[in-house]
Structure formats: C-alpha cells, structure tokens
C-alpha cells in the first residue's frame, strides 16, 4: 500500500488550500473544497474495506452512492491543511443507503466534513447531470467579489456582463456566465438545493454577501474560474467610482467568444 501522504489528490488539496488562504479567500475556517476521486487510484493508498466510522449526511445522496471524496473538515483552517492533512481533511465514501458517509481516512481528531458538504454533494450531482467529467466543487470568500456584492445589482445578467467588461479573458473563461443567489442562511439544505439548481446552468454561483461556489473538471479549472472572477471584480472595484472612458464592447466580446470557439450566453449581452 502506498503512503497516502504522497497521493496526488492529497498534495493537490494541500497546495490549493494553502494558496487560497494566502490569497485571503479563506479567512479563519471560511471556505471548503470537495474533490471526487477515482476509486482505483484511492485503492492504491487505502484499504477500501476499512471503514473508520460513519457520518450522517442529512439528505439523500443516493444518486452518487459509492462515490469517494476528499473533503475539508468542519471548523478547520485552510492554513493548517498543509501541515496536518490527516486532521484537517477526510476521505469519505457515500454509503449504499445514500444518507451516510463512510470515513476511510482523516478527521483523526474526531471531526467531520464541512457543514457545506451536503451543498457540495448537491452541486456535484447537478454538475454531473450536465457534465459527467465534473470532479471538484470549491467555495470561498474572495475579497473583491464579495465587495462587489454590496455596490452592484445582484442580477445574473448584469453581474456577468460587468465582469465580462473588466478583462478580455472573462467571456472566454466563463462564457456560461455567473449565477447569483440572494443572501441565504449557510450550512442548510435550502441553500444547497438553490445552489445545485443554479449549477445546472452555471459553473460559478455567487452567494450574495457571502462568497462564491465554483465547479469544474480539475482543481486548476475550478480555482481558475474563481481567480478570473476575482480579478475582474477587483478591477471593477478599483474603477467603479471613476468616469468610464473605455470599455470592452459587446461586439468585441462576441468577436472574442467566436474566435476562441466557446459557447457563450448571448442573452447576457446587449446587442
């Protein structure tokens, strides 16, 4: 059996959480990541028959029974993951009953997965229904994106359009736009269900006055989506109080999207 600490998926979680904390996106215990793993690969590092304990999910995840995830822990700080992954991360498998997670590794202090894990699983299920290669769901509190929530209308078309105007790459990186939810109580099935519904249409969902959810095929793709939104939001916040002399025109966005061959939201443009 290989050393789990050397597993590529553990190393990815260590590096990504450290980077997100460094960027200021995940203060204290804010933010969480879940990463769906390949069973064969996990079996090289863990005895899949050894269930340490079971943890209730609090909702029905029957659609993804048997799927294995590495997930950040509840109350855990991203800054501590790299130094002590076995306490701050866990690897769980969705049990046959669909309502229980089987702990295969981690949470060695008796902890459990993030309180947002049900919301993550709902988003995983929603994304898998439209993209069977989806593997990652990431939630964090990017500073400028959050600041933008307070001074910009929380309307999906208008919010997306403003972000697309800020950086030439934006319509290419997230041509499907950004979904937006009003403020909702976090850690509940209700916000998870609302996010999952948006995830059928968007890979990025803003939680009003809270943060952002992102989904993707790889850790890099998922991180990169948030990174690009945050850069655009930063430019907006640096310029929103100033006279706008130049902008990326809608016709130029079309030119970009069609040149790079992406399927963009035409209804989010003003043509």
Q: How far apart are the C-alpha atoms of 126 and 148, rounded to whole Å?
A: 27
Q: Which residues are catalytic?
A: 116
**What is the side-by-side order of every strand in the sheet holding 100-106?**
53-56, 100-106, 89-94, 68-72, 32-37, 136-140, 211-216, 204-207, 179-181
Task: Tell me the C-alpha distance between 14 and 23, whole Å.
Answer: 14
C-alpha dist (Å) from residue 171 to 213, 250, 257, 267: 18, 10, 6, 13
């Amino acid at each position: 059996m290989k050393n789990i600490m050397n597993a590529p998926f553990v190393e990815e979680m260590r590096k990504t959480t450290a980077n997100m904390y460094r960027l200021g996106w995940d203060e204290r215990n804010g933010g969480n990541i879940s990463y769906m793993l390949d069973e064969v690969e996990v079996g090289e590092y863990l005895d899949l028959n050894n269930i340490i304990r079971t943890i209730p999910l609090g909702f029905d995840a029957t659609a993804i029974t048997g799927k294995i995830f590495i997930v950040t822990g509840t109350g855990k700080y991203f800054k501590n993951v790299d130094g002590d992954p076995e306490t701050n991360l866990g690897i769980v498998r969705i049990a046959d009953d669909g309502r229980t997670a089987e702990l295969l590794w981690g949470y060695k202090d008796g902890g459990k997965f993030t309180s947002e894990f049900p919301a993550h699983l709902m988003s995983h299920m929603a994304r898998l229904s439209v993209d069977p290669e989806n593997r990652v769901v990431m939630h964090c509190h990017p500073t400028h994106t959050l600041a933008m929530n307070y001074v910009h209308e929380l309307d999906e078309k208008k919010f997306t359009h403003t972000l697309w105007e800020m950086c030439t790459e934006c319509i290419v990186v997230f041509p499907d736009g950004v979904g937006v939810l009003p403020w909702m109580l976090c850690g509940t099935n209700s916000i998870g269900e609302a996010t999952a519904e948006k995830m059928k249409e968007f890979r990025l969902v803003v939680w009003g006055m809270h943060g952002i959810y992102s989904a993707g095929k790889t850790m890099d793709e998922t991180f990169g989506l948030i990174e690009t939104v945050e850069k655009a939001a930063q430019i907006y916040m640096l310029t929103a109080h100033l006279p706008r002399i130049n902008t990326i025109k809608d016709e130029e966005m079309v030119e970009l999207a069609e040149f790079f061959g992406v399927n963009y939201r035409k209804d989010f443009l003003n043509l």
